[in-house]
Amino acid sequence: MAPYLALLALVILLANSIAQTTTAPPAMPASALPPAGGPLIFSDDFVTFNTDVWRHEVSASGGGNGEFQYYSSSSNNSYVRNGVLFLRPTLTSDRLGTSAVENGYTLNLWAEGCTTNDNGGCTRTSGNGQVLPPVQSARINTAGKFDCLHCHVQISARLPRGDWIWPALWMLPTGATYGGWPRSGEIDIMESRGNNPCYAEGGVDAFGSTLHWGPHFPVDPYNLTHEQYHLPRGDLGEDFHVYGLIWNSTDLLTYIDSLDNIVLSVKFDRKFYDRGNFSAHEYENPWSDRGNAAPFDKPFFLLFNVAVGGIGNEIGRYFPDEAGQKPWVNTDTQPQAMASFWRQRQQWLPSWNGEDVAMAIDWIRVYQL
């Protein structure tokens, strides 16, 4: 029997060897990621939704881009499950009914703690051809609770899928030191579109990183500090990826997953006033007495949100008309475009499938640099 036992042992050894060479290694957990250059100053694993840190924005103001959602603090739109935060757009008609969206209902967000009344953000009334914002979604921030200057931010997120969905992970200045937007700056770590990857401007297989800055609205040469990343295969809604920001006194960069995949890199090697060639237009210099990094030399806080659609503004259109057919045109007024978007929902709603439309955030780490 000994020869048979020896043969059996050899077969088992070979089987184990094959299994070891064909089994994929486990994904790296958040706790195994290397420290990011300094002490950890903020983290959240989303065991719960921590209201001591995160603040809901409640408004139908359109986010400055004439968007088609209103932001709510409803647990339908932001919730934690199994250690993951979900920011999920839903139909307003699911909450209020189709008749309310279209025919003479007043949406009173003052009763929900409205945070921004810009562009009629706290009350909207349907009827006479106008509709309520047809989507309700979530936008949260850490204003007044957490901010950082010269830090390394890592966010593990899975992006939403669905036509005209617009997720973002970004930062705004804690105080408008240099004046109103864009004088005090904006840092967009990640902005994407939920559309199919064949969408001309890039769909859920791509995202952009951008710095916004300028002497006054609408002067904002963000194209000088913007880069787009395309995933080599698959899309960003399949798995979690780490969206990173490294920001210090000499430069700022963003990356996906590792420093081998740098997306945007901006060196503070000259003043932003000179970078934008604003002297040629004799624009006032809001950063004249500051160093090269201004306006990115002050603390910024975090924002996460999922927007939908929008007509854009004087600076640009995130969903341009020339990029392909869509159920609205940007030359319409925002109420006209929003009504068209809603009435042609048969074009886009089939692409919204369950929880795939949510941006899922597994964890965040922020290190001081």
Say which DSSP state 29 is in.
Answer: P
Assess whether pLDDT exceeds 70 at residue 28: no
Q: Where are the domains of the chain?
A: 40-368
Query: Is residue 86 classed as helix, strand or coil in its secondary structure?
Result: strand
Contacts of 316 (CB under 8 A, 6+ apart): none
| pLDDT for 142 | 98
The answer to whether the beta carbons of residues 136 and 305 sit under 8 Å apart is no
Distance CA 263, CA 84 (A): 25
Cα dihedral value 267, 318, 139, 343, nearest 10: 180
- Architecture of the structural domain at 40-368: Sandwich (2.60)
pLDDT of residue 33: 52
Report d(CA 100, CA 92) in Å as an integer.
Answer: 9
Q: How many whole angstroms separate alpha carbon 209 and alpha carbon 262? A: 10
Q: What is the pLDDT of residues 49-87, one digit of tens each?
A: 999 999 999 999 999 999 999 999 999 999 999 999 999
Query: In whole angstroms, what is the distance from residue 8 CA to residue 282 CA?
Result: 85
Number of H helices, E strands in the chain: 6, 20
pLDDT digits (tens, 9 = 90+) for 161-178: 999 999 999 999 999 999
Q: Evaluate if residue 4 carries a pLDDT over 80.
A: no
> CA distances (Å), 242 to each of 10, 67, 158, 188, 352, in order?
43, 27, 9, 15, 24
Question: What is the per-residue pLDDT for 323?
Answer: 85
